[in-house]
Structures are given as C-alpha cells and as structure tokens.
C-alpha cells in the first residue's frame, strides 16, 4: 500500500503563491509515490471556531446554565465515545489518522497560521484521540507520522534571523512545530519558507518553487528538528504524568 500525504492548505486566493506551493507539493509527493489528499480549507469553507455543538453539546443549554460548564477536553472525549462529533471534524480526523505525512501550506500572518488553519487544529486534534495526559511527544498518538510546514512571508529574508528585526523563523514557528506537531507525536521536518513573496518577480517565484520541490524530493533524508522527550523530563513531572495516566 502506498504512503499517504495530507496537505492542509489555507489561502483565500486560488491564484496565490501559496496555491502554487500546494501544487508543487502535490506533484512532488505523487512522484515520490504518495497518495496525496488536499484539505483546501477556504474552498471547504471550513468552520474555524471551536464551539460546544462541535462535540454534541447544546449551546442553548450551556448558555442558560442548564448543563455543566463546557470543558473542551471532556467534551471531545465524550463525543468520540458517543459518536456525536461534528461531521466535518470526523472527516478531517479520518484523513489525519490515515496519513503518513502532513504538509501545511499557508501564508504567515502575524507570526502564525491564518485563523482558519489554527481552527482546524483547535477543533480536530481531539483529546484522547491524538494526545493524552502522558501521551505526549514521543508517546503522542500521532507518532510515526511526519509533518512539514511550507509558508510564505511578506517581509524580506533580511527581516528574519536570530539577530534580525523579526527574529528567527524557527522561533516564530516553534509553537506550531513543538506545541502542535511534535506535541502529538509527529516527527517534524525542517520547514520551507519563501520570503518577500508579494514583491517577488516571476524569476524569484520560479526559483522558490524549484527550491521547495527539491526540499520535498529530499524528504526521506531531511534531519528532523530536535524536540523534547517526555522520557527526559520524568524527574520533573513523573508524578504528574502518573497521577492521571492515559
């Protein structure tokens, strides 16, 4: 059976440079033997905002104070047990669980993901299904999957770097790399970042798309980013992890 890749793509303009990055990823991964699927969040009009009804909890009852206070973690676990997940979450979760490689393609807005993509993680990464109290990092439930970020900046390359105005791109992407992808157990590959995109001419765009394709052709040789391991922190917090073991 061939390996599966899921591309999460989030840009409001179908003719954007991000769309071209997505197309490069589709082609390069297909060539490498992946079965490639795309979640085009804008085209799907993906719901970004996590709400009680996503997990079968009635908002009206909540608002009236008739139900217990809405707790995201508990509601997610109960929805899985009772089969009351919103259909769009169930569909995206199925694609995520089936993939071997997750590729995120998005423009860097305010040092982070567009809200529609952040909302995908907020809503789809269910407690108990993709992580648990001790099922984190190397024990996370998505272990074995690889993840790779491809993003674009408006600012020029000179704005990024440890001693530059905006700081290092790996620091900017840390919450996503470490707090989302590695946290759930995924192996995080080095990102591809295209800079100064709105000001790039045809030649620069072509060069960047070729760089990205080359990056993807090296996928199996890329050295993953270093990430923390639960096993190295048991002296600090073993009692907490054991207290409510998964």
Query: What phi and psi values does residue 183 have, to the nearest 5 degrees?
Result: -55, -35
Indicate whether 60 belongs to the interface with its own copies (CB under 8 A).
no
For its own copies, the binding residues in 104-143 under the rule CB under 8 A are 107, 109-116, 118-119, 121-122, 125, 136-137
For the four alpha carbons of 25, 30, 32 and 35, in that order, the dihedral sign comes to positive
Q: Which two tokens stand for residue 218?
A: 């090296």
Residue 144 as a binder of its own copies (CB under 8 A): the answer is no
Question: Rule CB under 8 A: which of 72-111 touch its own copies?
Answer: 72-73, 107, 109-111
Determine, following the binding rule CB under 8 A, whether residue 58 of this chain makes contact with its own copies. no
**Both structure tokens of 62:** 């909540």
Contact present, 130 and 141 (Cβ < 8 Å): yes
In angstroms, give the least distance from the CB of 100 to its own copies: 22
Size of the site for its own copies (CB under 8 A): 59
Residues 6+ apart with CB under 8 A from 37: 4, 5, 6, 7, 95, 99
What is the number of other CB atoms lying within 10 angstroms of the CB of residue 73? 13
Closer CB to its own copies, residue 34 or residue 121?
Answer: 121
Q: Is residue 178 a contact residue for its own copies (CB under 8 A)?
A: yes
User: How far is residue 103's CA from residue 22's CA, in Å, rounded to a whole number?
Assistant: 9
**Which residues contact its own copies (rule: CB under 8 A)?**
12-16, 42, 48-52, 62-63, 65, 69-73, 107, 109-116, 118-119, 121-122, 125, 136-137, 154, 156, 158-159, 164-167, 171-172, 174-176, 178-180, 183, 198, 228, 230, 233, 236-237, 240
């Amino acid at each position: 059976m061939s390996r599966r890749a899921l591309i999460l793509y989030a840009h409001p303009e179908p003719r954007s440079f991000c769309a071209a990055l997505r197309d490069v990823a589709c082609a390069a991964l297909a060539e490498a033997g992946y079965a490639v699927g795309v979640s085009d969040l804008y085209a799907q009009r993906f719901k970004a905002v996590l709400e009680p009804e996503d997990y079968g909890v009635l908002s009206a009852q909540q608002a009236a104070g008739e139900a217990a206070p809405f707790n995201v973690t508990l509601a997610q676990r109960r929805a899985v047990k009772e089969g009351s997940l919103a259909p769009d979450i169930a569909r995206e979760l199925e694609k995520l669980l089936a993939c071997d490689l997750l590729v995120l393609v998005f423009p860097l807005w305010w040092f982070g993901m567009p809200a529609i993509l952040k909302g995908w993680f907020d809503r789809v990464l269910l407690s108990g299904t993709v992580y648990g109290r001790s099922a984190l990092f190397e024990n996370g439930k998505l272990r074995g999957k690889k993840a790779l970020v491809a993003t674009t900046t408006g600012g020029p390359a000179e704005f990024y770097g440890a001693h530059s105005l905006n700081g290092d791109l790996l620091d900017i992407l840390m919450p996503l790399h470490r707090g989302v992808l590695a946290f759930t157990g995924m192996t995080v590959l080095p990102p591809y970042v295209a800079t100064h995109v709105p000001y790039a001419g045809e030649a620069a765009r072509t060069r960047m798309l070729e760089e990205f394709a080359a990056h993807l052709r090296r996928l199996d040789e890329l050295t993953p980013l270093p990430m923390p391991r639960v096993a190295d922190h048991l002296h600090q917090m073993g009692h907490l992890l054991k207290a409510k073991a998964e």
